[in-house]
Structure 1
Amino acid sequence: MSEKAGRAATSRGFGRVIVFVYGILAFAASGRATFELTTKFSDAPFPYSLSILAAVIYVVATWALATGRRRIALATVSFELLGVLAVGLSSLLATDKFPEASVWSDFGAGYGWVPLVLPMVGLWWLYRTRRVG
């Protein structure tokens, strides 16, 4: 799919909704990560580093989805899903490593589980709108 066709797919309908939700999550995660980094990073560096990573992933995924860069979108959304699953499970099993929550802790419970559901929806949408042939 060309970049122009990819942009057209995200400029209307459900594609626009996905880009909008990713944008909100990118903004929220970036704000959280910036606050944690500047005010209390030494309290829990591991989970706060994961929040920074999540923010970067959301920003790149938003950009990739909005501009039709499907390979980058697929990579970042897939990484996001793996990150949410790994961090979510780790935060439940290794509570000593997570004295404070990250964006992906407890499978994104602090964000209404949107971090868990959104990459599944994003991957479904990328699959559904792929160009076959």
Structure 2
Amino acid sequence: MSNPRSSSEQPSTAAATSAADRLGGLGKVLIAVYLVLAIAATFRSVYQIITKFDEAPLAYSLSAVAGVVYIVATIALIKRRGVWRAVAWCALVFELCGVLIVGTLSLTAPQLFAHPSVWSQYGIGYVFIPLVLPVLGLLWLRSTARAAGAGAAAGGEGSA
């Protein structure tokens, strides 16, 4: 004997799961790009700080900060539940502000930067990925929050 209530709930649960699956693919790409950027920015800044810090201390310090932010963002996006969701939001907002502030300063006051940082000229040295990535990450976090809410409303746990 079938339960009429469970069969009527199936479509909405399936729709929430389908939406979460689509978001999961984008999430995997975002996390992979964050991981690559975290490794690249961190190792580049460590090398620059060790070998030629006196040439451009501000730029190399900003690159190190960017590397740490990318590491934190990567971990928070992977976990993205509970307090980690708030950490992800904070890291991505900080990253976006950093890119916008440093990008603008690097264009309006280039004398501050003897060498480029990860965020200089809005991330031009990294094909503008530092500018686009936090925007996509914030949109993804917002979308996964909606998918989780839809899944919970449909009687499931959600996957965000």
When normalised by structure 1's length, the TM-score is 0.89
Q: Aligned match of 1:22 in 25, 34, 39? A: 34
Query: Which residue of 41, 55, 73 maps to 1:43?
Result: 55
Deviation at 1:55, TM superposition (A): 0.4
1:71-110 alignment, distance < 5 Å: 71-110=86-125
Determine whether 1:117 maps to 2:129: no
Map Cα deviations across residues 18-52 of structure 1 (whole Å, 9 max, x no partner).
11110000010011111111000011101111001
- Separation in 2 of the partners of 1:16 and 1:70? 16
Per-residue Cα deviation, 1:71-109 (whole angstroms, up to 9, x for no partner): 100000110000000000000011110110000000000
Number of aligned residues: 125
**Structure 1 unaligned regions, length at least 5:** 1-7
Match of 1:40, SS state, is: helix
Runs of 4+ in structure 1 deviating by more than 2 angstroms, as ranges, are none
Give TM-score scaled by structure 2 length. Answer: 0.74
Counterpart amino acid of residue 118 in structure 2: V
Q: Structure 2: how far apart are the matches of 1:27 and 1:95?
A: 26
Q: Does 1:127 align with 2:131?
A: no
TM-superposed CA distance for 1:12, in Å, is 3.9
Measure how far apart 1:14 and its partner are: 1.2
Equivalence for 2:157: none
Identity %: 47
Q: For residues 70 and 28 of structure 2, what CA distance do their matches in structure 1 show? A: 15
CA RMSD after TM alignment: 1.7
